[in-house]
Amino acid sequence: MGRLMKRFSHLFLPLSVMVLLIIINLVKGADYFRITMVNGAFYGNIPNIFFGASELVILSIGMTLVTAASRGQDISIGESATITSAVFVQYVLQANEVTLLTILVAFLLSSVVGLALGAFNGTLVSIFKVQPMVASLILFTGGRSIAFMIDGKLSPILANDLSNKIGTVIPGIPIQTPIILTVVFIALTAVLFKTTNLRLYVEAVGINPNAARLNGINPKKVIFLTFLIMGFCSAVAGFIAVNKAGRHDSVNLLKLIMMDAILAVAIGGNSLNGGKFSITGSIIGAYTIEMLNRTLLRLEIEPAMIKVFKAVFIIILMVVASPVVRASITKVVDKIRPASVQREGSVPLPIANRVGKKEE
């Protein structure tokens, strides 16, 4: 039981925050969990949270791996997604007829571009030892201008049925398509971790790259691989976002989403200094952030003030989750805990002394 509690202790923070937000919403109105069927699809607060957090969940998965391996963050994920989605849109618009094959080829092409962008950042970090945030600052600065040039200085519209279905619902399926795509992506990620040693390699490099090297793990390759995965995550997120919007806005598409992705990793109980990580925690953290955004809107807080309330909430959250506060709580719990529990599993002092004397 103790091992199980220790294993899932990192989920305490995101789950407790989510429960707190649910309580606040229930106080606001008991109809919070109401789900209705509109045009053949489920709508309501809960489906809307899953729908709205689709891109953030996918980006948080990639950000978790980058943070764990490189001990830094990629701040260019929104710009990378903007570039890849611009490539996707241009291919679709230039096709004579938009079919499922057209969408698939366009997505694969945008994924290749995403991998190239990830390789660019990964090369700077793994080969040239540039700090991740500084390396990704290049694309963060110029990425949207590149997307703007790909668009031809326009905001092209995706006016076809397939894109509308990808961004909303497929007839006959009551769950919104972005939610399905996110679930599929999470499932593929789980399969990847189950069938490979990726988790072991990433954690080993993040904890101690020198020790990992001595054990036959190449830190450069592992860090480079995490940035490749991050590039692919950006392409998938851009694909979902542009189909949701029905048009490509190179200025505002997924703008500043890297801040929420980094926050999701932190809320999920992951250290921003690298090492051990929890994909599950980051996913819960992403949904928690989306729930927070919608809760503030539901409380009728002015849009201009939402960022202020969100910043205050984040400050409180980070202070509570800080090592200093955790250590203080642990000390208090140890004092309150019954003495019999504290001594459980330990050798009584007199016996320990006798054993020590015999060994001498």
How many Å is the Cα radius of gyration of the chain? 23
Residues 60, 186 within the same domain: yes
Name the E strands within 18-97.
Answer: 35-38, 41-44
d(CA 228, CA 120): 9
Say if 6 falls within a structural domain.
no
Residues 242, 311 within the same domain: no
Say if 237 falls within a structural domain.
yes
Residues 188, 221 within the same domain: yes
Give the mean model confidence (pLDDT) for residues 66-84: 97
Contacts of 2 (CB under 8 A, 6+ apart): none
Mean pLDDT across the chain, nearest whole number?
88
Helix then strand count (H, E) for the chain reads 18, 2
DSSP 115: H
Report the pLDDT value the prediction gives residue 7, as an integer from 0 to 100.
Answer: 52
Let me know: does 136 contact 75? Beta carbons within 8 Å: yes
Give the mean model confidence (pLDDT) for residues 199-215: 96
Say if 319 falls within a structural domain.
yes
Let me know: does 343 contact 329? Beta carbons within 8 Å: no
Look at the chain and report how many structural domains it folds into.
Answer: 2
Say if 356 falls within a structural domain.
no
Let me know: does 271 contact 281? Beta carbons within 8 Å: no
Residues 37, 122 within the same domain: yes
Cα torsion through 134, 139, 144, 145, rounded to 10: 110
In the beta sheet, which residues pair with residue 36? Answer: 43
Residues 154, 237 within the same domain: yes
pTM value is: 0.89
Containing structural domain, residue 316: 304-340
Report the pLDDT value the prediction gives residue 148, as an integer from 0 to 100.
Answer: 94
